Chains A and B, each alone.
Chain A
């Protein structure tokens, strides 16, 4: 496989559930990102990892918890979410945080009921 792969593509979860989103990149990049995309809003940066170190937490609520075990894998752990957290969650990677451009995965469409 090439590029950036996200699973699952769609997720429906209740407010009391715990779930995880997974992202894997096969591009040899060193930076990985989580973005949230809601209707009529710009892409919102959530977290950045550069060489496995978290370099950005954009004031994201603690019900979202990222994990980056290595430069190729990124997870977003979800618990006790709210309906307003329903959105498209996009993973991206770049050569590193200061170089290259963002390569996006296909996204996970999350619905919180």
Chain B
């Protein structure tokens, strides 16, 4: 069973701090990695995508990928109360001649004002 693992949280950080969200995946063949943000009662929206080892920065967000360790992380700098949400890690992995997007359970982030 191909899996994506995340700590469900809640992860509580003070406003202005760095929030660090982690994700591991089981399938070494996974090729593409995504972080989605989901506010309560809303649908997931894409925050970052990353395809190669290393860091990718977009504003206050940095995604980090280490394929050897099968590990993806998301750093949120200068956390704001509006960042409070559930963050879903997703991987696109080849399977049976096609591809699947597999999601983790999500980490709930609470940014304290």
Residue positions of A touching B, CB distance < 8 A: 33, 40-43, 45, 48, 50, 55-56, 90, 94, 97-98, 101-107
Chosen A-B contacts, 24 in total, with CB atoms closer than 8 Å, are A33-B101, A40-B8, A42-B102, A42-B103, A43-B88, A43-B90, A45-B101, A45-B102, A48-B98, A55-B98, A56-B98, A56-B100, A90-B43, A94-B101, A98-B98, A98-B99, A101-B34, A102-B34, A102-B46, A102-B90, A104-B44, A104-B45, A105-B43, A107-B43
**Which residues of A have CB within 8 Å of B49?**
101
The 10 closest A-B pairs by CB, nearest first: A43-B103, A104-B43, A98-B99, A42-B103, A42-B105, A107-B43, A97-B99, A106-B43, A104-B44, A55-B98
**Alpha-carbon distance between A36 and B41 when the two chains are bound, in angstroms:** 14
Residues of B that sit less than 8 Å from A by CB: 4, 8, 32, 34, 42-46, 49, 88, 90, 92, 98-106
Residues in A with CB closer than 8 Å to B104 are 42
| Given known A-B contacts A40-B8, A42-B103, A97 and B98 have beta carbons under 8 A apart | yes
Whether A42 pairs with B42 at a CB distance below 8 angstroms is no
Chain B proximity of A107: nearest CB distance (Å): 5
Q: In terms of DSSP, what is the predominant structure of the interface of chain B?
A: strand
Kindly provide the distance from the CB of B106 to the nearest chain A CB, expressed in whole angstroms.
Answer: 8
Which residues of chain B are within 8 angstroms of A102 by Cβ–Cβ distance? 34, 44, 46, 90, 101
Closest approach, in angstroms, between the C-beta of B43 and any C-beta of chain A? Answer: 4
Question: Smallest Cβ distance from B83 to chain A, in angstroms?
Answer: 19
Residues from chain A with a CB closer than 8 A to the CB of B102 are 42, 45
CB proximity of B99 to chain A, nearest CB, Å: 5
Contacting residues, chain B, for A50 (C-beta < 8 A): 98
Cα A102 to Cα B106 in complex, Å, equals 16
Chain A residues with Cβ under 8 A from B98's Cβ? 48, 50, 55-56, 97-98
What is the bound-complex CA distance between A40 and B34, given in angstroms?
A: 20
In the complex formed, the residue of A with least CB distance to B103 is: A43
* Residue picked from B32, B43, B99, B106, most chain A C-beta under 10 Å: B43
Tell me which residues across on chain A come within 8 A of B92, comparing CB atoms.
Answer: 98
